[in-house]
Structure 1
Amino acid sequence: MKVPKAGAVAAVIALAATASGCGGEAKKEPISVGIKFDQPGIGMREADGTFTGFDVDVATYVAKELGYKANEIEFKQVYSSDRELLIQYNEVKFVAASYTINDKRREKVDFAGPYFVAHQDLLVRADDNSITKAEDLNTKRLCSVTGSTSAENVRSKLAPKASVLELGGYSECLVALQDNLVDAMTTDNSILAGYAARKGNEGKFKLVGLNLSNENYGIGIKKGDSALQKKINAALSKMVSDGSWEAAVKKNFGQANYKYEPAPRVTAGG
């Protein structure tokens, strides 16, 4: 009896394995979604590796409508300064990260939505009553995040003499506020409410309660992808109509006694 060579045996085994795999279901590639990892109530990576927040719930709902289960979503961290880049270089399929729709960003990416309306506000230490209006910032130290619209809005319209410290993330701003390195931090009231309500922060901070701007959150997608834009818009409209949007808002912001706006009408690309 002729014994086959080892190489031939290996080839037969490999061929058999390939053939047996053809009948099985091909593994679906996960969908990559950009979110914030450090915004309580919006997008947060918890200590156990799970993700929580309103944007996480919106992204999960949209992904489901696109045909992906929760375990087929790969969340990737995005910062305010690199959202457009991750979309442009196909690192993510879409971004849901407290991403305000504006004309400057529309030059680089397209948006679906809007799906939420926030307003720029200020967060201060609970015992500080010296800041009651935007003009008070002219003699104060203010923290915001690099790449966000908030710092630009303060400089150009509200308090041009304010001393502005720009850091990489809102968590860093919160530490600076807690340590008296700054007098206030500014961004959307939804984000600030999430920090104020976070476990361990109760009673330490307060929102001033100013509506310094209107921030329409949209889902960022690659420029020109009108098919994806249409699908996401349909998903967002369905999320509102079936009650999932309202449930997600109450789940993520209820503890902060946050007065949110009703769901906006989806108009992007329409």
Structure 2
Amino acid sequence: MKLRKVTAAAATALVLSLTATACGGDGDSDSADTGSGSGGGDKITIGVKIDQPGIGQKTADGTYEGFDIDVATYVAKELGYTEDQIEWKEAKSADRETMLDRGDVDFIAASYSITDERDQKVDFAGPYLLAHQDLLIRADDNITKGEDLNGKKLCSVTGSTSAQNVKDDIAPQAQLQEYGGYSECLTGLENKVVDALTTDDSILAGYAAQEQFKGKFKLAGLKLSNENYGIGVKEGSDLKAKINTALEKMVEDGSWEESVKANFGPANYKNEPAPKIGQIVE
């Protein structure tokens, strides 16, 4: 690993230390990578999710919104780019490493969990958010621990490992239901066809915060795993250090906390404090 790892307890101490310090183009789109952080070209191309409310979503009018969008926009501005110089590009989970390697994007902010395997292929700035695998359940449900899923129907999207991890390690009698998308799981949860939906709590909070779902769902708060979200850059890129500096500033000036509350607050998401840059929480 190129990033140091720490325990959750150690991370908390590091966050307090950080807070104390604060108080005192497609294909050849590499202008940000070769610049000095003051805007080295006409545009910067950023890979994001476009279908995850609260994280990264392309709206009906063609604009982009969500926590990752806020983070990426802040970073781009610190690199010297205005909002109208940002070109957004969809970064599907399976394509992220390839997009960076080909130079399709300058960096990726797309609920991109830092793992050993990925860290061998790309470099990561951050982490900038510590998320956890969790459950989304109906507001009147009383699931309080993973074992309560035994005998219940657990939904996740096709290709995700989240639900299978729960069945393998926590609730072997859970009945897995795979749907094509999270919206289908939410409809099933609302109609009592399934009993819970599992993925990262940040993603779940984004869906639960949507106007049509307010008051209908809640997060179980189980913290079934640690997911350290990082910003991916091409391996060896000098953008990593520049982005880390921008992320530290975003935490220090309060913009990070403001964005968390705006994007996840309606779902009563109990976020972790901003992680210390360069430290992975296992």
TM-score (norm 1): 0.80
Counterpart Cα distance in 1 of 2:158 and 2:105:
21
Structure 2: runs of 5 or more not aligned: 1-39
Counterpart Cα distance in 2 of 1:59 and 1:148:
25
Work out whether 1:265 is the aligned partner of 2:270: no
Label 1:204 to 1:114 Cα distance change in 2 as closer, same or farther (>3 A): same
Aligned to 1:113: 126
* Aligned-residue offset at 1:68: 1.2
Counterpart Cα distance in 1 of 2:112 and 2:277:
15
Aligned to 2:206: 194
Counterpart Cα distance in 2 of 1:242 and 1:229:
20
Work out whether 1:102 is the aligned partner of 2:115: yes
Structure of greater Rg: 1
Counterpart Cα distance in 2 of 1:88 and 1:147:
23
Counterpart Cα distance in 2 of 1:103 and 1:152:
20
| TM alignment of 1:160-199, pairs within 5 A | 160-167=172-179, 169-199=181-211
Q: Secondary structure at the match of 1:200?
A: helix
Aligned amino acid, residue 209 of structure 1? G
| TM alignment of 1:242-253, pairs within 5 A | 242-253=253-264
Counterpart Cα distance in 2 of 1:221 and 1:166:
32
Label 1:88 to 1:141 Cα distance change in 2 as closer, same or farther (>3 A): farther
TM-score (norm 2): 0.77
Aligned amino acid, residue 264 of structure 1? P
Counterpart Cα distance in 2 of 1:92 and 1:176:
36
**Cα deviations by residue, 1:124-161 (Å, 9 ceiling, x for unpaired):** 223433x3321233323322245656345324432344
Q: Secondary structure at the match of 1:210?
A: coil
Label 1:145 to 1:268 Cα distance change in 2 as closer, same or farther (>3 A): farther
Partner residue of 1:65 out of 78, 103, 107? 78
Aligned to 1:133: 145
Aligned amino acid, residue 64 of structure 2? F
Q: Secondary structure at the match of 2:137?
A: strand
Aligned length: 241
Counterpart Cα distance in 1 of 2:248 and 2:43:
24
| TM alignment of 1:197-208, pairs within 5 A | 197-208=209-220
| TM alignment of 1:222-241, pairs within 5 A | 222-225=234-237, 227-241=238-252
Label 1:153 to 1:107 Cα distance change in 2 as closer, same or farther (>3 A): farther
Aligned to 1:24: none
Conserved? CA contact 2:55–2:203, under 8 Å: yes
Conserved? CA contact 2:214–2:266, under 8 Å: no
* Aligned-residue offset at 1:91: 2.0
Moved more, 256-265 or 78-87: 78-87
Label 1:103 to 1:168 Cα distance change in 2 as closer, same or farther (>3 A): farther
Label 1:77 to 1:167 Cα distance change in 2 as closer, same or farther (>3 A): farther
Counterpart Cα distance in 1 of 2:153 and 2:45:
37
Q: CA RMSD in A?
A: 2.3
Conserved? CA contact 2:152–2:174, under 8 Å: yes
Aligned to 1:51: 64
Label 1:125 to 1:57 Cα distance change in 2 as closer, same or farther (>3 A): same
Conserved? CA contact 2:219–2:269, under 8 Å: no
* Aligned-residue offset at 1:198: 0.7
Counterpart Cα distance in 1 of 2:150 and 2:171:
5
Structure 1: runs of 5 or more not aligned: 1-26
